[in-house]
Structure 1
Amino acid sequence: MTRIPSTQALRALESFARHGTVWQAADELNLTRSAVSHQLRLLESSLGFQLMSRVGARVELTPQGAAYALDVRRALSTIAGSAARHAGRGATGVLTVSCPPGLASSWLCPKIGRFHDDFPDVALSLVTPRRLDDVSNPDVDLFITFGHGNLPGQDIELLQEVAFTPLCSPLLVDKLDGLSRPGDLLAANLLHLADFDDWQMWFRQTRLPEDAARTGVVFSDMNLVYSAAIATQGVAMGDRFICHEAIRQGQLVQPFEQSIPSPRSYYMVLPPEKSDNAAVVAFRGWLRDQLQSQAT
């Protein structure tokens, strides 16, 4: 049988393929940049084909390397899912998870039945916080937050970085006679969450007048923004991650390639005293498996 590369090297490749940079992969794996680069070179040498190529100052995966990385991601996801399912045979107890309402309704709730199928003896309760980065509820065993990750004394794991881009109903695109260039948004109704900041940043990046971004309707909750967008009421500055299913089903479309990185990300936060709870361990592994599955 062909010798299987080391798990650390495969994880280094999978992380590099997802993030696109060595330093982000190193940060995720808690390794130095030189260690990640060394693992990638060793993997390339053992495989016998080129994984990476230099394009200017950037290092990118070759088409062959990208295809292999996708296979690796699927394999690691299968292993993680198998471990979670077998661990779940003995997971029991009560588990309360806090999750931001937008992520809960658009991404987590459509999948939550799978957790019950895998862990039937865990009594799960899902609650939403007042603030997206709130971890103050003493009744919660595991928090999913949207913020900067600055929570001293907590066990914190980055789940998903976020980029925002205009999203709208395909029916609205037809109604506006197409959205072929960013300037076409000047004739559209804009939908905002809490303030105008995201749209102003996107207008600045695409060289549109920032003052024009201060129009439209402001909502207090992201669910309201997406509901209005699906109902053809305007164009939302949306998160492709939690809108993945709506985009897949054709309820929302992304008319432009331009996106803006969010300074905030989704994190999994565990109070240290809850980290050994069997139900928490089960949900943590299951959540990672769901993220890996979507990434493939």
Structure 2
Amino acid sequence: MSRIPSTQALRALECFARHGTVRAAAEELSLTRSAVSHQLRLLERDLGFDLFNRVGTGIELTARGRQYARDVRAALVAISSSAARNAGRGLSGRLTVSCTPGFAAFWLAPRIGAFRVTCPDVDLRIVTPGRLDDVSNPEVDVFIAFGTDAMANGEVELLREVTFVPLVSPGLANRLGGIKSPEDILRADLLHLGDTEDWQRWMCAAGRAPHEAKRGPVFADMNLVYAATLAGQGVSMGDEFICTAAMESGQLIRVTEIEIQSHNAYYLAIPARRQDLAPASAFRRWVRDAILGQQG
């Protein structure tokens, strides 16, 4: 085709590809399901090739559709990032961001240079709260909290839902002669954050007794959990999202395909008194684009 497809249709495709359902895409885009379905049908017609297979009453992407959706996502991220870079020029002042220790250390810190390129004149301060869902600090402009979307007097948006998976260091895996099953995991210490609940839920998902999770040290900080994991002190119930880079580099190994969905998620919140702060809006756009690019 010679003309560029509708941007709204491309956004509908990108959302559908990420969520896998028309309903979830419609919720993110604040559209009706019929409107999203209509956009997808028009896009498929205009492109001239099949994007979807019909499965019962639903649809799923074809192999060609998945590839096209990846290309669309990359293009949308590039467009948004370019806009953010240009919008960030000339912004100045102090921006204080509060985020959980694990998110700060494993996701934000390795990427913070990219935000500095976008907004070089913004004086950025990163702080970590004592509680993962704390959004009460009056000096903070942007919160990235791990919890629910319940925040009075603020603008809140979902950044990423989270699954937990067992993670181990290559060193410990080698010392144990390999670690691939729930039985293998129980030959090592279990590392916990706050309490043993996540490991108990995982044991149930793995067909094991929940009381088997009640072993190993409990830490008050996620950084301590990951430090102990990297040092080969045991197996942790890791946040798959923020540990992606560590898994891709081989620092951490996912033990099994068994996983559990977290009851909580990462949310970005801007207090009502800060919603007109231009650096806060720029930071929100940058984080959203970076997470979208990671999902691609």
TM-score between both structures, scaled by the size of structure 1: 0.95
One-letter amino acid matched to 2:229: A
* Cα distance, 1:54 vs structure 2: 3.6
Which residue does 1:29 correspond to in 2?
A: 29
TM-aligned CA deviation for residue 96 of structure 1: 0.7
Which residue of structure 1 aligns with residue 117 of structure 2? 117
Aligned to 1:164: 164
Relative to structure 1, the CA distance from residue 84 to residue 20 in structure 2 (aligned partners, 3 Å threshold; closer, same or farther) is same
The aligned residue for residue 239 of structure 1 is 239
Residue 264 (structure 1) aligns with: 264
Cross-structure match for 2:47: 47
2:70 alignment counterpart: 70
Q: Against the structure 1 CA distance between its residues 185 and 54, is the aligned structure 2 distance closer, same or farther, given a 3 Å change threshold? A: farther
Partners in 1 of 2:17 and 2:240 — Cα distance?
19
8 A Cα contact 2:88 2:282, kept in partner: yes
Per-residue CA distance 1:209-262 (angstroms, 9 max, x = gap): 211111111111111111111111111100111112211221101121121111
Contact residue 99 and residue 129 of structure 1 kept, 8 A: yes
For 1:151 and 1:229, locate their aligned partners in 2 and report how far apart those are by CA, in whole Å.
33
What secondary structure sits across from 1:160 in the alignment?
strand
**Match of 1:106?**
106
Moved more, 52-61 or 176-185: 52-61
- Distance in 2, matches of 1:251 and 1:96, equals 30
Count how many residue pairs are aligned between Structure 1 and Structure 2: 296
Stretch of structure 1 that moved more, 271-280 or 224-233: 271-280
Superposition deviation, residue 48 in structure 1 = 1.5
Q: TM-score, normalised by structure 2?
A: 0.95
Q: Find the counterpart in structure 2 of residue 249 from structure 1.
A: 249
Contact 1:183 1:208 in 2 (8 A): no
Residue equivalent to 1:216 = 216
The CA deviation string for residues 100-134 of structure 1, in whole angstroms up to 9 with x for no partner, is: 11100111011112222221211111111121111
Equivalent-residue separation in structure 1 for 2:188 and 2:258 (angstroms): 17
Matches for 1:136-155 after TM superposition, within 5 Å:
136-155=136-155
Q: RMSD over aligned Cα, in angstroms?
A: 1.5
Identity %: 56
User: Take 2:241 and 2:78, find their aligned partners in 1: how far apart are those partners?
Assistant: 21
The Cα offsets for residues 51-72 of structure 1, whole Å up to 9 and x where unpaired, read as 1224456532111111111001
**Is the CA contact (8 Å cut-off) linking 2:85 and 2:117 kept in structure 1?**
no
Q: Distance in 2 between matches of 1:58 and 1:148?
A: 29
Deviations 1:141-181 (A, max 9, x none): 11111111112331111111101011111222222222232
Is 33-42 or 261-270 further displaced after alignment?
A: 33-42
- SS of the residue corresponding to residue 276 of structure 2 reads coil
Separation in structure 2 between the aligned mates of residue 197 and residue 217 of structure 1, nearest angstrom: 13
Q: Which moved more, 1:205-214 or 1:109-118?
A: 109-118
